Structure 1
Amino acid sequence: MNPPANGAAWEQAIGRIHRQRQLADKCEVELYQHTDELTDAFAMARDFARSI
């Protein structure tokens, strides 16, 4: 598995759990960061998203 390194791909993947007509006020996402590659990929995507 290769985690996405851009914010748009993460947003699309995470956003799939919260759609129109969703009844829950909050949705939770589990993000596994048990390897350096996963931690780095998410950090890079988060930083790109913040800069946008």
Structure 2
Amino acid sequence: MNILGFFQRLGRALQLPIAVLPVAALLLRFGQPDLLNVAFIAQAGGAILITSH
């Protein structure tokens, strides 16, 4: 594997966590009592955000 291939693989690996964080924040917000009040949606968003760091 050449250096360009390495950086392409690295870039693809970094895209997934960056793409998932906004979705987790939206899930967390949608599950709040003043919006949809669905606990499992908020828990799913919280689980993603807690395990990401």
Instruction: Tell me, yes or no, whether TM beats 0.5.
Output: no
TM-score (norm 1): 0.37
**Larger-Rg structure:** 2
Q: Give the number of the structure whose residues are more often helix, by fraction.
A: 2
TM-score (norm 2): 0.37
